[in-house]
Amino acid sequence: MFVRMICKDRNEKEKNELYQVMGALCKREHMQIEEQGDRVVIYACVQGNIVITEEDNNVIIEANTRHGGAGFHAFAVEFCKDIQTECPGEYELVDDLDFDADEDFHRLHHIYEDEIVYLKDLLLKNPEVRNMNYMFDQTYFLPIEKDGRISTAIGDMDISEFARMEPHDLMDSFFVWNDWEKNARYYKNAALVTLAKEGVGPYATMNADTIKHANEICDFIELANRKDPHISLPLDVYEDLCQQLGRQPQLEHAHAMEQEAIQYRTKEVYHLFDDVKVVADGASERSVDPVNEALCLMSPYNDESQWSWLLMASKQPGICSHLDELLHEEPITYDGKQFYFTQWTEEGATMIDALLEEEDRGLYFHAIIADTKDIPYIKQCIKESGFVHQA
């Protein structure tokens, strides 16, 4: 499920014209376009972007539409065709679903229903798939699986209920843009997916990113209400976010959803880094140490001076301060994995070095803990961590 168009053999002037046209189309569609190093990204859908790169004299436009839905796929094709109309030149358009040939949206929608049928069967028959990223276009985390539950992009459901549901009724649980236009249904789905991916509950104003996403969620909810005042929405979440952001509520005669809007990151999640998954609070502030090739997770906070712990994980032993002592500790076994721990106090804080050994792979940890009450929690997070396994 992808769209790819090569704008062939363009000189600098013609390349600039292409970017100008793309900018104008984004303005028309109220979409953000942003230069990111050697590529340009169009934020077309919360579950899919359009990415523009250059290769020699060619400009390449690509969109992975698997998680966005039929509406996003159709939009990506139409976007490419609009560019062809506005800018003369040679093009090669590849649409693996052939919507470019017949523009039959009804047929396209059925292809996405068939994808749900395939995914549903896979999830019911193969538990390993439930631990993988089949929900989001891209993410740095995965929700921790629950027995008897199936995770979807907008919340988890009982496995027996999931088995009974018709593919059409599951569309909004896995895709965002299921109709031709961005209607109320789209904006509701966009709000729920963004809540799942980016919602951090009481830490919505923790940093610039969490504030940005909190405002996006409110924007999506307000747009859904504006387009259809009768659509049900996560009003309790909206009111909480408005209060945290100091934002004036804009909804009128809105209807509340019966089910709870899921925010995975208010619980522990798997934080992903390379082929590693580290368990910790989903609202943790994430950074990467490129020198030590380490994932760094700092406890969520409302006041920067009140952070509780910092947890680092790397396949490089250099992150451990007391490596020799660590390797001389007696190992413990947990869930088929072997662990080594060493602990000491330094400048009033508790320090932990740890090593996880799983099959022939090793994962090193270094933790700084301000409050001793968090020591059992951090040790348990380390014991629940591991490597990503492929089916």
Q: Each residue of 230-273: pLDDT tens digit?
A: 999 999 999 999 999 999 999 988 999 998 898 999 999 999 99
Nearest to 331 by CA among 356, 311, 313, 352: 356
Residue 300 has pLDDT above 80, yes or no: yes
Mean pLDDT of 129-155: 88
pLDDT tens-place string over residues 335-347: 989 999 999 999 9
CA distance 132 to 358: 19
pLDDT number for residue 256: 95
Number of CB atoms found within 10 A of residue 19's CB: 14
The two structure tokens encoding residue 103: 């523009």
Whats the size of the chain, residue-wise? 391
C-alpha angle 178-184-266 in degrees, rounded to nearest 5: 85
pLDDT number for residue 161: 94
Helix (H) or strand (E) holding 375: helix 375-384
Taking a C-beta distance cutoff of 8 angstroms, is the pair 314, 364 a contact? yes
Percentage of the chain exceeding pLDDT 90: 87
pLDDT number for residue 131: 82
pLDDT number for residue 390: 57
For the chain, the first-to-last Cα distance in angstroms comes to 21
Mean pLDDT of 150-160: 90
Q: How confident is the model at residue 154 (pLDDT cuts 50, 70, 90)?
A: confident
The one-letter amino acid at 206: M
User: Which residue has better confidence, 306 or 53?
Assistant: 53
Mean pLDDT of 32-58: 95
Torsion angle of C-alpha atoms 138, 142, 146, 151, degrees rounded to 10: -10
pLDDT number for residue 252: 82
Backbone φ and ψ of 73, nearest 5°: -60, -45
> Across the chain, what does the average pLDDT equal?
94
Q: Tell if the pTM clears 0.75, that is, is over it.
A: yes
CA of residue 287 relative to chain centroid, distance: 16
b/e for 71-89, b at 16 or more Cβ within 10 A?
Answer: bbbbbbbbbbebbeeebee
b/e for 229-265, b at 16 or more Cβ within 10 A?
Answer: eebebbbebbeebbebeeeeeebeebeeeeeebbbbb
Helix (H) or strand (E) holding 185: helix 184-198
